Amino acid sequence: MVDVVESFNCANCGAPLKIKKGETVIVCDYCGSTNSLKANKTFVIKHSWMPNKLSREEALKRAREWMRSSMLMPPGIENSEITKAELIYIPLWVFETENKTRYSGSSLRSGEKKVSGIEEKKLFWKVLGRRQSAFPVREYKVPLTTKVPFSIEEAMDGQMLNGELDEEEAKSVARQEIAAHMKTLLEETVDRFDSCETETSFGESEFLHVPVWFLEFNYRGKPYKLLIEGTNGEVLKGEIPPSDFLGGEMKLIMGIAAALILFVACGFLALMFLR
């Protein structure tokens, strides 16, 4: 069930835009322009993307390789049925930022010592264009070298997800996240903060779509998710089913119990001989 809101037209070609509830950055189905909705008007923004390079077969092959890649995998996982493989273009805001953090506080490493200063850092910051998604945006290394201007004719192989955060909203998310990030970096030297203020200035910003294969597989009757990047085949996130309890963990517990019994028995014997 799709909840379509009022109608808007593309600011470039005039075609009606298909907008779902909550979406504010919309790719036109006809001309591929990216429209941002603001004050009930549409205007075109710069849009880039990374074309998908991974066919469905290659994505499934990568999934099998991942399943065989580690000793941590539960037995038989490589034979799991892959029940879903869907290519989705995820919207991302990418910002060039310059940041300045003024801080003061105390270091407690070798006696209490007052510390203060200014920390400056240039950062590329990514913000997911959706409010809710399982996409691991922090860990994701955007392969920016494969970035090209968006073309609607070529982007027909997957589902294009529109943005729910407009540029201003995404910048405000970036500001908060960067402030937290800068503070975490400073925790290397500051144990207690009296103040910590970060000022962020934004340079270039970009709205990007990145290809991700969303896979689902079944292991012993339960579904698990696997996300594979479409430009380089990297596994972005994979749910590993828990190992059989009677297999791995139970052996460990039995081992510890046996060691404890042996320990107590030795102590007992030692006491007998020392008496």
Interface with Zn ion by CB under 5 A: which residues? 10, 12-13, 15, 28, 30-31, 33
Least CB distance to Zn ion at residue 27 (A): 9
Return the number of the residue (33 or 99) whose C-beta is nearest Zn ion: 33
Amino acid at 167: E
Distance of alpha carbon 31 from alpha carbon 259, whole angstroms: 70
Return the number of the residue (18 or 100) whose C-beta is nearest Zn ion: 18
- Residue 263 Cα distances to 235, 256, 266, angstroms: 45, 10, 5
Return the number of the residue (12 or 107) whose C-beta is nearest Zn ion: 12
In sequence order, the β-bridge partners of residue 99 are 121, 200
Least CB distance to Zn ion at residue 161 (A): 18
Least CB distance to Zn ion at residue 148 (A): 19
| Residue where the block lists tokens 């896979």 | 215
Least CB distance to Zn ion at residue 17 (A): 8
| Angle of CA points 267, 271, 275, to nearest 5° | 170
Least CB distance to Zn ion at residue 41 (A): 15
Least CB distance to Zn ion at residue 11 (A): 8
Return the number of the residue (29 or 194) whose C-beta is nearest Zn ion: 29
- Residue 135 Cα distances to 170, 181, 211, 228, angstroms: 16, 19, 11, 10
Return the number of the residue (31 or 148) whose C-beta is nearest Zn ion: 31
Return the number of the residue (152 or 240) whose C-beta is nearest Zn ion: 152
Neighbours of 219 (CB within 10 A): 19
Query: Which tokens is 241 given?
Result: 């089913």
Are residues 180 and 39 in contact, defined by beta-carbon separation less than 8 angstroms?
Answer: no
Distance of alpha carbon 208 from alpha carbon 93, whole angstroms: 6
